Amino acid sequence: MKEKFSIEEAVSSLWDKLDSWMETIILKLPNLALAILVMIVFYFIARGARKVFIKFILSRIQQKSIQDIIAKIIFITVILIGFFVALGVLDLNKVLTSILAGAGVVGLAIGLALQGTLSNTVGGLVLSFMPKIRINDYIETNDIKGFVSEISLRNIVLRRPDNNYVIVPNYKFVDDAFTNYSITDRSRITVTCGVGYESNLQKVEDLVRKIISESFKQKPGEDVEFFFTEFGDSSINFMTRFWISLSKPKHEHTAKHTAIKLIKANFDKAEINIPFPIRTLDFNKNELNLNFEKDSEGS
């Protein structure tokens, strides 16, 4: 026969259990107080570590949002260490083992589910510490040119010269090559033109070298270069290369604008012809004669 449920026995058992817990808590009061003290100490350690990192290490990162995120990660990490130490003080080793095992499983699951996000996060941290890219640098990557506006843990934001913004995921930016036009102070640009076949080519070369050298100061190790490149359909084409201070696309456009005006004005003075493209239209003679005969018959 099944034993009958007794309320008195259940209450008595519950009371004995609570009494046992109370005794355990009373016995653990010194350990509990020490664990609380450990948590308080680690709290102040976490605050101090965050301040030290912000002042001496994170100050190298120009992006304020990334500084804040890394500082929070440091703070939480120190607090977690203090939490595990407090559990050890309370002799809750089994609980500590279960928490660590659970955290490992959860961390693995989260890592598999958020591979793309974690790649972006790691990429953002890498970009933050890279000395070759800074806020307001003018860069080019994957046929996209623009000024670095923001570097976050998810993506990098570029402001194009037309004032539109392009958002590039960090993992794509880190994996691909990019060009930073703001690292170097000087860059070499090219201007092309053509002169008529009747022109004195040596005179053309000397004149172009002279006007470019006088208008664009070349530093030691730099030089104005001139090359005839091809026999074109209506002109002999050439290019000249010279150095300018360039950190923004506007600098290149301005230099080319000035060089083209100077070349045109000086060619006009020296009576050097810059020919128009010549196009020959070939009409079928038989069709012209046929149309002429029809017009004659009609008249």
pLDDT in tens, 23-76: 666 656 677 778 888 889 888 998 888 888 877 776 666 656 567 667 878 888
In sequence order, the β-bridge partners of residue 159 are 147, 165
- What's the pLDDT score for residue 92? 65
Minimum mean pLDDT among 18-22, 150-154, 194-198: which range?
Answer: 18-22
Of 18, 46, 32, residue with least CA distance to 92: 32
* pLDDT tier, 199 (very low <50, low <70, confident <90, very high otherwise): very high
Q: So what's the pLDDT on residue 173?
A: 76
Q: 112: left (phi > 0), else alpha (psi -120 to 50), else beta?
A: alpha
How far separated are the first and last CA of the chain, in Å rounded? 131
Phi, psi of 143 (to 5 degrees): 65, 15
Contacts of 242 (CB under 8 A, 6+ apart): 188, 189, 212, 213, 216, 218, 222, 223, 224, 225, 259
Mean pLDDT of 262-266: 95
pLDDT digits (tens, 9 = 90+) for 225-256: 999 999 988 899 999 999 999 878 888 999 99
Enter the DSSP assignment of 138: E
Q: How far apart are CA 142 and CA 178, in angstroms?
A: 8
Beta-bridged to residue 169, according to DSSP, are 155
Tell whether the model's pLDDT for residue 205 goes beyond 90: yes
Q: Are 32 and 60 in contact (CB under 8 A)?
A: no
Distance CA 193, CA 273 (A): 11
Q: Please name each of the domains of the chain with its CATH number.
A: 8-113 (no CATH), 131-180 (2.30.30.60), 186-269 (3.30.70.100)
Look at residue 293 in the predicted model and tell me its pLDDT: 56
What is the spatial distance between Cα 195 and Cα 230, in angstroms, rounded to a whole number? Answer: 11
Q: What phi and psi values does residue 261 have, to the nearest 5 degrees?
A: -65, -40
Distance, in Å, from the CA atom of 273 to the CA atom of 199, rounded to the nearest integer, reads 7
Residue 48 main-chain phi, psi, to 5 deg: -65, -40
Q: pLDDT averaged over the chain?
A: 78
Residue 190 has pLDDT above 80, yes or no: yes
Is residue 268 scored above 60 in pLDDT?
Answer: yes
Chain centre to alpha carbon of residue 48: 31
What are the tokens at 128? 């933050």
Q: What is the DSSP letter of 60?
A: G
Tell whether the model's pLDDT for residue 206 goes beyond 90: yes
CB atoms closer than 10 angstroms to residue 204: 21
Sheet of strand 236-245, all strands in order from the earlier edge strand to the far edge: 186-195, 236-245, 225-231
Between 14 and 185, the more confident residue is 185
pTM given for the model: 0.55
Condensed to tens digits (0 to 9), the pLDDT of residues 104-154 reads: 655 555 554 445 555 656 666 666 656 667 778 888 887 888 888 887 777
- Those residues with Cβ within 8 angstroms of residue 137's Cβ, 6 or more apart along the chain or in another chain: 147, 148, 180, 181, 182, 183
Q: Residues in the chain, how many?
A: 299
CA 186 to chain centre: 22
User: Which pLDDT tens digit goes with each residue over 213-225?
Assistant: 999 999 998 999 9
